[in-house]
Amino acid sequence: MKNTPFTQKHIALGAKMAPFAGYNMPISYTGINDEHAAVRKNAGVFDVSHMGEFIVKGENALDLIQRVTTNDASKLTAGKAQYSCLTNDDGGIVDDLIIYCIEENKVYMIVVNASNIEKDWNWISKHNSKKAEMHNISDKTCLLAIQGPNAAKILQPLTDLDILNLKYYTFVKGKFAGIDNVLISATGYTGAGGVEIYFEDKGDDAAKIWDKIFETGTPQGLKPIGLGARDTLRLEMGYCLYGNDIDDNTSPLEAGLGWITKFTKDFTAKSILEKQKAEGIQKKLVGFEMIDKGIPRHGYEIKDFSGMDLGVVTSGTQSPSLGKAIGLGYVRTAFAVPDTEIFIKVRDKLLLAKVVKLPFN
């Protein structure tokens, strides 16, 4: 099992640790509900250094990115980021990712899911026919997500960069907590606002940055947050988790990611997705909330009132912010309309739920 540069910090803080994507990661410190509330109301720090980072550079960098991703990366200028995904030859999702434009048409950073680093690298490399320069910098890159409505305000004293006024999906690069070449982006996976900071793992930079953040933030209520609350926070927003809600067998259109699928350019499986769009999709990812008492879990069956199969739950939890059980799942398209009643099979019971618009509220 791999460690991140912060593993000993988590253990010293009494985190409950568990394996995740081959890494020893903190699941919770003081409890998921407490940590969830800290991020929604104030700010919290997630160690997400297990994520993967690739640099693609050179005159053919943009061409390669355009051919393997669904969104239109030609719209990116330096300092902007974009949510996108890789599609396979059948129109399924290889991974969802974020593309950072470091230098227009020249240098890009692609951030991928931890469990897909090798798969994504191999997939992009396979399509690199024009020999763009590629570097896998995952093992030497630290990533901390400081999320919540007060995150930027708490961190601002640690840098001369203006992070208080960073627009969503933009980034700046410079000195942070006395360390050079730190990339700070207004991105995250919680819907609570905040930033993510990327920097090279060299010397004791990781410890310095972690300690400075908590030295500044602890008096203001900043807390370390585990992956448990990361999951409940993203689920309340209806954000997809790779391996649960999206995978190699789900298409961006089925997953509600048509907004990052641009048919104005050529990319892998474009013709398959165009056909899906023209003919209509058979299944669709929806949000639902429970009406009957019960918590939906990954893999539970979704039925209609007569017990006929409609689909499957991909994510589910008791929402800490909303005080009700919520979930995501694929259903037949006819049942994807908000307020449609569906049933979740929990053990041998069919429990009533209804389809709702995302994000949950």
CA distances from 218 to 44, 211, 224, 228, 352 (A): 10, 10, 10, 21, 43
CA distance 232 to 199: 27
Taking residues 144-151, report their average pLDDT.
98
CA distance 299 to 245: 11
pTM above 0.85, yes or no: yes
Q: What is the mean pLDDT of the chain?
A: 98
Cα 272 vs. chain centroid, distance in angstroms? 25
Reported as a pLDDT band with limits 50, 70 and 90, residue 122 is: very high
Give me the percent of the chain exceeding a pLDDT of 90: 100
Backbone torsion region of residue 285, taken as left when φ is above 0, otherwise alpha when ψ lies between -120 and 50, otherwise beta: beta
pLDDT of residue 297: 97
**pLDDT tens, residue by residue, 247-260:** 999 999 999 999 99
**pLDDT tens, residue by residue, 267-306:** 999 999 999 999 999 999 999 999 999 999 999 999 999 9
Per-residue burial over 154-174, b = 16 or more CB atoms within 10 Å of its CB, e = otherwise? bbeebbebebeebeeebbbbe
Taking residues 54-73, report their average pLDDT.
98
**pLDDT tens, residue by residue, 214-243:** 999 999 999 999 999 999 999 999 999 999
What structural domains and CATH numbers belong to the chain? 7-48+139-236 (3.30.1360.120), 282-361 (2.40.30.110)
